[in-house]
A = this chain, B = another copy of it.
Amino acid sequence: VGGEVRRGGVTLDQVARVAGVSPATVSRVVNGTRNVDPALQQIVMSAVKATGYVPNRAARSLVTRRSGTIALVVSAASADGFDDPFISRILGDPFFGRVAAGALDLLRTNGLRLELLIADDPATRNELTRRLALRDIDGALVVSMNTRDPLCVQLASHHLPVVLLGPAAKSVGLTTVAADNRAGGSLAAAQLLSRGRRRVGVIAGPSDARGAAERTKGFLATMARQGVEDVAVVIGGYTVQTGEASMRELLAGRPDLDGLFAANDLMAQGALHVLRDHDLHIPDQVAVVGFDDSRAATDARPTLTTVRQPLEQMAAEMVRLLLQLIDDEATPIRTTVFQPTLVVRASA
Instruction: Assess whether A97 is in contact with B104, with CB atoms less than 8 Å apart.
Output: no
A23-82 contacts to B (CB < 8 Å)? 54, 56-59, 61-62, 65, 67, 69, 72
Query: If A95-B92, A116-B114, A134-B9 touch, does A84 touch B56 (CB 8 Å cutoff)?
Result: no
Instruction: Assess whether A91 is in contact with B84, with CB atoms less than 8 Å apart.
Output: no
Instruction: Assess whether A92 is in contact with B88, with CB atoms less than 8 Å apart.
Output: no
8 Å CB contact of A301 from B61, B69, B273: B273
Instruction: Assess whether B134 is in contact with A56, with CB atoms less than 8 Å apart.
Output: yes
Contacts of A8 in B (CB 8 A): 65, 134-135
Binary per-residue interface labels of chain A (99-135) against chain B in the complex, 1 for a CB within 8 Å, 0 otherwise: 0111011001000011111100000100000100111
8 Å CB contact of A92 from B97, B104, B269: B97
Q: Name the residue on B nearest A67 (C-beta).
A: B58
Q: Is A87 an interface residue (CB 8 A)?
A: yes
Query: If A118-B104, A134-B9 touch, does A299 touch B97 (CB 8 Å cutoff)?
Result: no
Query: If A54-B130, A92-B92 touch, does A101 touch B115 (CB 8 Å cutoff)?
Result: no
8 Å CB contact of A57 from B67, B97, B114: B67
Binary per-residue interface labels of chain A (199-225) against chain B in the complex, 1 for a CB within 8 Å, 0 otherwise: 000000000000000000000000000
Query: If A97-B91, A113-B115 touch, does A62 touch B56 (CB 8 Å cutoff)?
Result: yes
Copy number in this complex?
A: 2
Q: Is A89 an interface residue (CB 8 A)?
A: yes
Instruction: Assess whether A92 is in contact with B102, with CB atoms less than 8 Å apart.
Output: no
Contacts of A273 in B (CB 8 A): 301
Q: Is A93 an interface residue (CB 8 A)?
A: yes
CB distance from A315 to the nearest CB of B (A): 10
**With the chains together, A273 CA to B61 CA distance in Å?**
55
Q: Is A312 an interface residue (CB 8 A)?
A: yes
Binary per-residue interface labels of chain A (206-246) against chain B in the complex, 1 for a CB within 8 Å, 0 otherwise: 00000000000000000000000000000000001000000
**With the chains together, A64 CA to B270 CA distance in Å?**
54
Given contacts A9-B133, A87-B97, list 13 more A-B pairs with CB under 8 A: A57-B61, A58-B62, A58-B67, A69-B113, A84-B101, A88-B97, A88-B98, A88-B101, A88-B312, A91-B97, A92-B95, A93-B97, A113-B115
> What are 13 A-B contacts with C-beta separation under 8 Å?
A8-B135, A54-B130, A58-B61, A58-B136, A72-B116, A87-B105, A88-B97, A88-B98, A91-B101, A100-B116, A115-B115, A240-B299, A296-B299
- Give me the interface of A with B, judged by CB distance under 8 Å: 8-9, 54, 56-59, 61-62, 65, 67, 69, 72, 84, 87-98, 100-102, 104-105, 108, 113-118, 124, 130, 133-136, 240, 266, 269-270, 273, 295-296, 298-299, 301, 312
